[in-house]
Structure 1
Amino acid sequence: MKIIIAGAGAMGSRFGLMLHQAKNDVILIDGWQEHIDTIKEYGLQANFNGEEVTEMIPIYHQSDISSVEFSADLVILFTKAMQLDGMMQSIKNMVGEKTKVLCLLNGIGHEDVIKKYVPLSNILLGNTMWTAGLEGPGKAKLFGNGSIDLQNLGNEGKESADEVIAVLNDAKLNAKYSDNILSSIYKKACVNGTMNGLCTILDSNMADFGETDVADVIVESIVSEFAQVAEKENATLDIDAVLAQIKSCYNRETIGLHHPSMYQDLMINNRLTEIDFINGAIVRKGEVYGIETPYCSFLTQLVHAKEQIMKAK
């Protein structure tokens, strides 16, 4: 299968590497020039479950692909949410009538952008439990196992996704079809919608926040807003299970000392965040459904204020 990995950071590198090793025709597209130059010269290097591997995979800068001749059967999206529209615009000449687009971004509402470029019947919305990291340009660290749940947004259902699932599973990416992917996405979004923004604003790891006297009431209020919006979209959330998953993040013996990705983007790398596609998405959807979302609204405003104070780019 001819596959575009749109966004070749940590997760894009993992998927690109594993699909390339499974003998698919893979190209990587990214916007980080040093990362691109390193892969072009030395190949994509990875510590893959303790084994050092290198694969020569074609990679292009997003701004340089207009002349690249590649007709994709599948596009897998791993861009930052705010870069999604620009990426879809850049690759539109590589996307044909039968091209499937699998979106594995964090956050909510990405299908509203993608459907401007491909019909709903070609969109696969997914949620992945794979993890990955970058140790530097062109160098990925890939440990552990994972899985993918995905759903076709058109009327064709599972039949339309079977070929993509087979290709992913041939690459040992452990994909399966879901009849209600939005429930999985909203559950994951609740974790991101609490830990990411709160730890960023409070300049805190997850354990330190979780040990405060007000952590529970803040988290429960945010999750309540997510749940009310999810219900309007026929996505069922087990609130007790969601809260238990969030509170498990406080454990210092496991991941409690970790700073979430939004913290790393803004506080460490001075990059703009994805808050508009997590809590901000709940605010926008709340306005449509007539649901008040004061906690998500305030947290979104605070993060934007912090971005402006830090002059993030």
Structure 2
Amino acid sequence: MKIAIAGAGAMGSRFGLMLYRSGNDVVLIDQWHDHVETIKKNGLKANYNGQEITEQIPIFYPQEMTSNKTQVELIIVFTKATQLEHMLQAIKPLIGIKTMVLCLLNGLGHEDILQHYVSKKNILLGITMWTAGLEAPGKAKLFGDGEVELQNIDPAGEAGAHRMVNVLKKAGLGGIYSSNVKYSVWRKACVNGTLNGTCTLLDATIGAFGATTAAIPILKAIISEFAAVAQKEGVVLNQKEILDHVAATFDPNGIGMHYPSMHQDLIKNHRLTEIDYINGAVARKGRAYNLPTPYCTFLTELVHAEEQILKAR
């Protein structure tokens, strides 16, 4: 199968590598200069479950796709949420009437953007439990197991979704067809919505935030706002289960000693965040449904204020 990985960072490198090694015709697309040039020169290197491997996978800048004449069968999107539309605009020549697009981005509302570029029946939403890291430009660190849960957003796309599940299974990526992927997407967004903005603003690890007396009340308030908006969109979240799930992340023997990704983006690297696609999306949808979302709105505003203070780009 001809596959394009749109956003070839750590996770995109994992998926591109595993799909390439299972016999697919894969191209990587990314805009990080050092990463792209290193892979062009030396191939994609990876510590793959302790084994050092190198694969010569073609990689291009998004702008190099504007004159492309070859359409692909599947595009897997791994950009930052803020870069999604720019990427889709650049790779439009890759998208044909039968091209499926699997969106594995964190956050909410990406299908609204995708529908401007891809037929609704060809859009797949999903979440992944795989992990990946980059040790250096062009060098990925890939350990552990995972899976990909996905579903078509239009009933007409179900056959295509099952085909893509099989492609992912064959590559060892653990494809699973979901009967309710929107629940999983909302649940994951809710986890991000309780931890990313709070830990970023407090400059705290997940466990340090969790150890405060304010943590549980804040979590309950944010989760209730997510649940109220989700219900308007036909998704009924189990608030107690999500609260227990988030609270479990406070354990210092798990991920409690770590900072969430938004903290790394903004505080460590002064990069713009994805807050508008997490708490900001709930606040935006809340206004449309005439639902109050004071915690999500305030968190979004504070994160944007911090972006300005730190001159994030």
* 1:206-229 Cα shifts (integer Å, max 9, x gaps): 111000111111111000000111
Which residue of the partner structure matches residue 124 of structure 2? 124
Q: CA RMSD in A?
A: 0.9
> What pairs with 1:94-113 in structure 2 (closer than 5 Å)?
94-113=94-113
Aligned to 1:245: 245
Distance verdict in 2 for CA 1:61–1:157, change over 3 Å: closer
The aligned counterpart of 1:15 is 15
Residue in 1 that maps onto 2:229: 229
Shift of 1:91: 0.5
Unaligned runs of 5+ in 2: none
* 67-76 or 192-201, which deviates more: 67-76
Corresponding position of 2:31: 31
**TM-score for both structures, normalised by structure 2:** 0.98
Match of 1:4 in 2: 4
Residue in structure 2 matched with residue 85 of structure 1 by the alignment: 85
Q: Secondary structure at the match of 1:159?
A: helix
User: Which whole-Å CA distance do the structure 1 matches of 2:52 and 2:231 have between them?
Assistant: 46
Residue 256, structure 1, aligned to residue 256, structure 2: yes
Cα deviation digits, residues 28-58 of structure 1 (max 9, x gap):
0001000000101111111111111111100
155-164 vs 44-53, which moves further = 155-164
Render the CA deviation track for 1:37-93: whole Å, top value 9, x for unaligned: 010111111111111111110001112222333311000000000100000000001
Preserved CA contact (<8 Å) 1:132 1:141: yes
Describe how 1:175-214 pairs up with structure 2 within 5 A. 175-214=175-214
Q: Can you give the 5+ residue segments of structure 1 that lack an aligned partner in the other structure?
A: none
In 2, the alpha carbon distance for the partners of 1:169 and 1:73 equals 17
Q: CA deviation at 1:140?
A: 0.6
Residue 132 of structure 2 is aligned to residue 135 of structure 1: no
Q: What is the distance in 1 between the residues matched to 2:65 and 2:95?
A: 13
Give, in whole Å, the separation in 2 of the partners of 1:73 and 1:159. 14
Question: What is the alpha-carbon distance in structure 1 between the residues aligned to residue 216 and residue 73 of structure 2?
Answer: 46
Q: Where does residue 285 of structure 1 map in the other structure?
A: 285
The 5 Å alignment of 1:161-172 reads 161-172=161-172
Distance in 2 of aligned mates of 1:256 and 1:100:
37
Cα shift at 1:163:
1.3
SS at match of 2:5: strand
SS in 2 for 1:127: strand
Q: Secondary structure at the match of 1:149?
A: strand
SS at match of 2:257: coil
What TM-score, normalized by structure 1, do the two folds share?
0.98
- State the distance in 2 between where 1:287 and 1:160 align: 35
Q: Deviations over 1:253-299 (max 9, x none)?
A: 11101010000001111100000000000011111111110000000
Residue 102 of structure 2: SS of its match in structure 1?
strand
Equivalent residue letter for 1:307: E
Is the 8 Å Cα contact of residues 158 and 177 (structure 1) preserved in structure 2?
A: no
4+ residue runs over 6 A deviation: none
| AA aligned opposite 1:85 | E
Q: What is residue 151 of structure 1 aligned with on the other side?
A: 151
Asked if 1:297 is matched to 2:265, the reply is no
